[in-house]
Amino acid sequence: MEKIWLIIKREFFTRVRKKSFLITTLLVPLAFAAMIIVPIILSTTSTEHKRIAVVDKSGLFENKIPDSKGVYFKYLQHQNIDSLKLHYSELGYEGVLYLPEFDINRPSGFEFYSSGQASVNIESSINKDINSVIEKKRMEMRGIDQSKMDEIRSDVEVIFKNGKDEKKGNSWVAYGVGYGSGFIIYFILLLFGTSVMRGVMEEKVSRIAEVMISSVKPFQLMMGKIIGIAAVGLLQFFIWGILVTGIYMLVPLFFSPESMQAAATTQADPQQTAEIIHRMRDVVGSINWALLVPCFLLYFLGGYLFYSSLYAAIGSLANEDASDIQQLTIPVTVPIIIGIMIMMKAVQDPGSPLAVWGSIIPFTSPMVMMARLPYGVPGTVPYWQLILSFVCLIGGFMGTTWVAGRIYRTGILMYGKKITLKEAMKWVVRKP
Amino acid sequence: MNLLEVKHLKKHYETHKAVDDVSFGIEQGSIFGLLGPNGAGKTTLLRMITGIFYPDEGQILFNGQKFDPENDVQHIGYMPEERGLYKKMMVGEQTLYLAQLKGLSRKDAVQKIKFWFDKFDINSWYNKRVDELSKGMQQKVQFISTIIHQPKLLILDEPFSGLDPINSNLIKQEIFNLSQQGTTIIFSTHRMEQVEEICDHIMLLNKGHKILDGSVAQIQQDFKQGLFKVGLGTMPNPAQMATYHFNIVQTHDKAFTVKMNEDSTTNDILLHFIRQDIPVTYFEEILPSINEVFITQVQQTENSNANVAALPLA
């Protein structure tokens, strides 16, 4: 036990002390922070004003198109459109909107001129605004009262509740959280699995393996590496957790609530903002975090142990020629990819047989179960499924580490010739 | 007393017998040479002795007890032929790690490292990364990490490969020192000139079989062919050399190499020259080099096993 502890420590500290660890650990939350902060900064400090010249020959639109987000419309009714088209940029305009006289029943001939392609935002908002002006005009002509029209409009939302306690559910939130955590597990399995594999390859190719094996058992060496790398991952999660919460809490200190709202909503309508904040609380409250977070850690560890030992076994088959390894990893990588595919289905339909079985079979369960859990336990995922899934995963990783350990101890000392998987499978049953 | 006793050891791979019924004993404090051509089974045999492989059959006794890899590896130092260190690790840290894996406490390990780094005058390397060192320097670090825990049994597989003559000599001196302090050493090589110089006892392995075992002096006696070199003051004419006692094998400048006939004695040879009044300046026995013994023995077993297909060793 003392030896395996020494190995874990070495694996952990050599990785943690590397510059690349520091960089990824700090860059990820920074990228996350940037995703929140940059839009706020852009929306509050944007000094760029786009001015658009409007030549309205119909006289219908004057002052009816609202200015928004730094886009201002300037009405130049009496300008000649042909000369304006040539000189608008010298006059300080971004573009020219030309609205000719038209038949109200068959509107056509509206044009927008600019030097480059108009942005999608401007394009769609101009379209929307012009159409609404025309609609209003038509209603007026047919004697429909605008206020009556507003009364007729309906904006009801069905509230979806689940469970006996009638907790307000939100399938979009479950979808998002399920998809996100399933994907994170997928990345962890691939990323950390290959990290274990490369570590084993390095030991084999640099020939330290034989020196090590003369001091410790191969299984200790393998497990020490796997646990050491898992510890690195957990530390990274922990730091990210702290940094992300920290950033979330610090952001409001640097920006006024008004600017936060401006970033969150296109039109800073206080009532709408209040509703969004209220909904966000609902969203966070609709997920059973006390269950989800421990499950995430358990599926992370279980899935990682399941696959990383297989990756270690593959790494032990490597030779100086590293190109062979690509082919050897296929049997391990394919189940992970199948898992992410089932996960994508399961997050849409968490009760389907594919999702249920995918969340029980240990090859795919870490990803698929994480996609199902946010939909609710025991509502969508009965307790027996969760327990069976755990038991299968624990049995599964004990099985894979046993098989991998047997391949590893032979492979790590086998030099010179190319090893096929078929050969490696024979080592599983053979005496060392 | 024998520190290591190997009895009827067998290790078979799927396609061939790597070690086939090998027995030998190594006396405490001696230097034991394990010789054999490439693929003879040396590495497999050493891996069984270091607990890396389990034998299919046979027994290993370590210090009089049944070999228990779990605990006995603490008393074994093994330097494999293919050297290996973690390339990105610092030299000092690495030595410390390997020493602790051999059961030394951190404090003891640090102390020992200081001692050996002083002795080899490599303190300045302590905080260097292994891949910054030359191959010969890495070899020294590897040697230190092999002996740092004061093993009872030290196994060195081709310890001089890649070393310049000065460092070679340094390591050789250390091997003698350790041997004098009671360390038992297994020295595996196919470089014969070193064997005669260093080893007390040798064993010759070929295709998994032991073909020869004994002390260096004994083996030379066993395989001597009655050859002597006689130095002469004046070269006699050929007519004077007709004798029943010996044949001339080779003529040198003022000397002959002669092969003595079976019934004759060395005095018979000397008398022949003295009677003819030819001054003898020196007289010496020519013993076979271990290299010669090795080659003839390997070729002999090769011929006798000619019908057995040669199989490559992993």
The pLDDT of residue B68 is above 90: no
A415 contacts B78? CB cut-off 8 A: no
Task: Give residue A431's pLDDT.
Answer: 63
The pLDDT of residue A180 is above 90: no
B52 contacts A210? CB cut-off 8 A: yes
Same domain, B184 and B76: yes
Contacts of B89 in chain A (CB under 8 A): 14
The pLDDT of residue B110 is above 90: yes
Within-domain flag for B52: yes
pLDDT in tens, A60-100: 787 778 777 667 788 877 777 788 887 887 877 878 888 88
Contacts of B83 in chain A (CB under 8 A): 207
Q: In what order do the strands lie in the sheet with B153-157?
A: B76-79, B153-157, B184-189, B31-35, B201-206, B209-215
Contacts of A416 in chain B (CB under 8 A): 314
A414 contacts B101? CB cut-off 8 A: no
Give the residue from A215, A219, A410, A426 with the most B CB atoms within 10 Å of its CB, the best one to mutate.
A215
Q: How many domains does chain B have?
A: 2
End-to-end CA distance of chain A: 22
Same domain, B203 and B275: no
Task: Give residue B156's pLDDT.
Answer: 92
DSSP secondary structure, chain B, as one string: -EEEEEEEEEEE-SSSEEEEEEEEEEETT-EEEEE--TTSSHHHHHHHHTTSS--SEEEEEETTEE--HHHHGGGEEEE-SS----TTSBHHHHHHHHHHHTT--HHHHHHHHHHHHHHTT-GGGTTSBGGGS-HHHHHHHHHHHHHTT--SEEEEESTTTT--HHHHHHHHHHHHHHHHTT-EEEEEES-HHHHHHH-SEEEEEETTEEEEEEEHHHHHHHT---EEEEEESSPPPGGGG--SSEEEEEEETTEEEEEE-TT--HHHHHHHHHHTTPPEEEEEEEPPPHHHHHHHHHHHHHHHTTTSPP----
Distance CA(A418)–CA(B294), nearest Å, equals 33
Query: Is there a contact between A201 and A325 (Cβ–Cβ < 8 Å)?
Result: yes
Question: Of B221, B239, B262, at which residue does a domain stop?
Answer: B221
pLDDT in tens, A349-394: 888 889 899 999 999 999 999 888 888 777 778 889 899 999 999 9
**pLDDT-based confidence at B137, cuts 50/70/90?**
confident
Same domain, B186 and B236: no
A3 contacts B52? CB cut-off 8 A: no
Within-domain flag for B273: yes
C-alpha dist (Å) from residue A392 to A302, A345, A403: 10, 21, 16
Over range B156-171, report the average pLDDT.
87
**pLDDT-based confidence at A166, cuts 50/70/90?**
very low
B82 contacts A207? CB cut-off 8 A: yes
B82 contacts A413? CB cut-off 8 A: no
pLDDT in tens, A394-419: 999 999 999 998 888 888 888 777 77
Residue A191, chain B, CB below 8 Å: the answer is no
Distance CA(A179)–CA(A155), nearest Å, equals 29
Within-domain flag for B207: yes
Distance from CA of B68 to the nearest CA of A (A): 13
Task: Give residue A272's pLDDT.
Answer: 56
Within-domain flag for B58: yes
Within-domain flag for B305: no
Same domain, B113 and B216: yes
Q: What is the DSSP letter of A417?
A: S
A432 contacts B86? CB cut-off 8 A: no
Of A215, A414, A417, the CB nearest to B73: A215
Within-domain flag for B100: yes
The pLDDT of residue B138 is above 50: yes
Same domain, B141 and B279: no
Contacts of A3 in chain B (CB under 8 A): 101
Distance of CA B21 to the CA centre of its chain: 21
Distance CA(A324)–CA(A342), nearest Å, equals 29
Contacts of B138 in chain A (CB under 8 A): none
B212 is in which domain, residue-wise? 2-221
Over range A277-286, report the average pLDDT.
62
**pLDDT-based confidence at B228, cuts 50/70/90?**
very high
Q: How many CB pairs under 8 A join A and B?
A: 64
Q: Which of A256-260, B71-75, B263-267 is predicted with the least confidence, judged by mean pLDDT?
A: A256-260
Average pLDDT over all residues of chain A: 81
Interface of A with B in 406-425 (CB under 8 A): 413-417
Same domain, B245 and B185: no
The pLDDT of residue A56 is above 50: yes
Structural domains of chain A, ranges and CATH numbers in brackets: 2-34+171-429 (no CATH), 49-148 (3.40.190.10)
A207 contacts B84? CB cut-off 8 A: yes
Of B54, B78, B85, the CB nearest to A214: B78
**Degrees (nearest 5) of the Cα angle B176, B180, B186?**
60
CATH number (domain holding residue B236): 3.30.70
Give the residue from B11, B12, B52, B53 with the most A CB atoms within 10 Å of its CB, the best one to mutate.
B52
Distance CA(B112)–CA(B104), nearest Å, equals 10
Question: Of B221, B244, B265, at which residue does a domain stop?
Answer: B221
B98 contacts A14? CB cut-off 8 A: no
A210 contacts B80? CB cut-off 8 A: yes
Q: Is beta strand B57-62 parallel, antiparallel or unpaired with respect to B184-189?
A: unpaired
Those residues of chain B whose CB sits closer than 8 Å to some CB in chain A are: 14, 47, 50-54, 56, 73, 76, 78-80, 82-89, 97-98, 100-102, 142, 145, 314
pLDDT in tens, A13-49: 999 988 888 888 888 777 767 776 777 676 655 555 6
Task: Give residue A253's pLDDT.
Answer: 65
Give the residue from A1, A16, A203, A210 with the most B CB atoms within 10 Å of its CB, the best one to mutate.
A210
Q: Which residue of A has its CA nearest to B11?
A: A432
Contacts of A6 in chain B (CB under 8 A): 97, 100-101
Distance from CA of A332 to the nearest CA of B (A): 27
Average pLDDT over all residues of chain B: 87
Backbone angles phi, psi at B243, to 5 degrees: -155, 160
Q: Which residue of B has its CA nearest to A412?
A: B52
Same domain, B178 and B256: no
Of A7, A206, A413, the CB nearest to B52: A413
Over range B140-150, report the average pLDDT.
92
Give B101's contacts (C-beta < 8 A, 6+ positions apart): A3, A6, A7, A212, A215, A216
Same domain, B185 and B73: yes
A279 vs A307: which has the higher pLDDT = A307
Same domain, B100 and B82: yes
Same domain, B45 and B191: yes
Of B76, B79, B101, the CB nearest to A216: B101
Q: Which residue of B has its CA nearest to A426?
A: B14
A216 contacts B53? CB cut-off 8 A: no
A10 contacts B98? CB cut-off 8 A: no
B84 contacts A215? CB cut-off 8 A: no
Within-domain flag for B293: no
Distance from CA of A327 to the nearest CA of B (A): 23
B84 contacts A210? CB cut-off 8 A: yes
Task: Give residue A121's pLDDT.
Answer: 66
Q: What is the percentage of chain A residues whose pLDDT exceeds 70?
A: 82
Q: Is beta strand B65-66 parallel, antiparallel or unpaired with respect to B57-62?
A: antiparallel
Same domain, B183 and B87: yes
pLDDT in tens, B248-285: 888 888 899 999 988 888 998 899 888 888 899 999 99
B52 contacts A415? CB cut-off 8 A: no
The pLDDT of residue A270 is above 60: no
Residue A183 tokens read as 């994907």
Distance from CA of A427 to the nearest CA of B (A): 11
Over range B128-140, report the average pLDDT.
88
| Residue B51 zone, left/alpha/beta (φ > 0; ψ -120 to 50; rest) | left
Output the pTM of the full model.
0.74
DSSP secondary structure, B82-149, as one string: S----TTSBHHHHHHHHHHHTT--HHHHHHHHHHHHHHTT-GGGTTSBGGGS-HHHHHHHHHHHHHTT
B80 contacts A207? CB cut-off 8 A: yes
Task: Give residue A415's pLDDT.
Answer: 78
B54 contacts A431? CB cut-off 8 A: yes
CATH number (domain holding residue B110): 3.40.50.300
Contacts of A426 in chain B (CB under 8 A): 14
Same domain, B185 and B263: no
